[in-house]
Structure 1
């Protein structure tokens, strides 16, 4: 007899026999949509997506992640920021602020708005991602209870990404990110500390990209300019042949976003934390990735994704109003 019942509970997971958790982007961008997706999957499959963290940042000087060019007034509202933290924690998900700007000075440490947000983070139980050593030390001294994550930027600017380097990251930070190029170095992956390592699964860049450092520099510079009111688009991506992804249609090499089988191989080595970024993605691409790395494929496609595209469309329409 034909069985048309959907898999329920852990059977709906991409990793039904593993305890996997996820750190995903979307804070201050699309948490409303993320919560809707979580609810749909719980209602339809009796399965709660194991999202442990959602990362992002309002447009402040310490931000080193996605530059937010719209809804600036809303994102500068401290009441909105506080509610974003509280609503995320109510969902039993930890908000993590991407305070990963690499060009911060001693003077920038005393930015009033950033310090007000930092106080909220400390009071409400959020966490931070950093790439600046001076900001790291500042937070440790001012609020020693705040958990600090190492940005992937730290591994990008490291000349020798060996075992000793990753062991230092593991011991100094609450979590650290394995550089996406190292996702293919299985010998190194076997040796790394795994208890607090995160595997970035959907990096759209190419292997051994020569301008990755410049890309991170561009993001940090533009964020500072944006806050200071002298923003100018440096058009850095004009020199990139991988981002946005439409450029890859004529390239004879794949990007390093992992396949399901590659992720499963890494999981088999003992890793349990996966990171899903979305800085340069549109929402349809982002949620496609979120579903393909969390749900069993017959559940994710077409059952959930085709259904959820309607939610994305309505969300984008509301944002245009």
Structure 2
């Protein structure tokens, strides 16, 4: 097995820093708290830590709203403490995977603060802006409309999640290069890969058609127009070519709505996209209807059937992430 395939035999342990271990008694977990538990994690048999976002953030969405990609959230520590964590992991022959959140930023990110200043600002096209007559009926995944009016210029910006999480416009090559440079910043520090947050959302149908409105709903179902979108494979292949292929790293794409057929493409090594994906099919088997919070007892044969389907589908080309 090549060294580049180390992730195929690794146990990955996710850490939500805020709730993992509080080293200073302020009620918030922190990076120093993780450092204190490294020997414990090693003893558990953990090979890789997946660290949920530790970047500077207003914390509207538990750190998935990033204000500065190259700064540590002050309640978690600072960059020197992060460097100490990374070194501590590597000293124990463990690895660190960071959360890569590039479908959206915080509305407090400098890119968005510039973008909203004027219609001709150089950062305007880093996000999706539309006149009122151009917006569609999409709903936000976090409820409410997916378009928010910004009084400054009188246009609406797209946010598939919180209105404090404007979506990035991956159609803009300058934006993509800025993202790649940020990724290199962390990889050059020595991190060992990325868990890519809702990465199959980064390519949208930029015609922004209305989606069908399900019975009893207010907003259109836009899943087919932003999930596994028209340029997603192009974008992931470019990311691989520009960044991840140049490092010995693991890449896991969080991909809601991806089928086994999609996964065969995303994870086929010949396509140079990602090593693995997170699928959600087995996570939805105990949902009673469309609301994932309405639970029902899981029917074990359904779980066995689903897990088997994914194993068989990816056994020749690709690799499953089991969680």
- Larger RCO, structure (CA 8 Å, separation 6 or more): 1
Q: Shorter-chain TM-score: which interval?
A: 0.3 to 0.5
TM-score by length of 2: 0.36
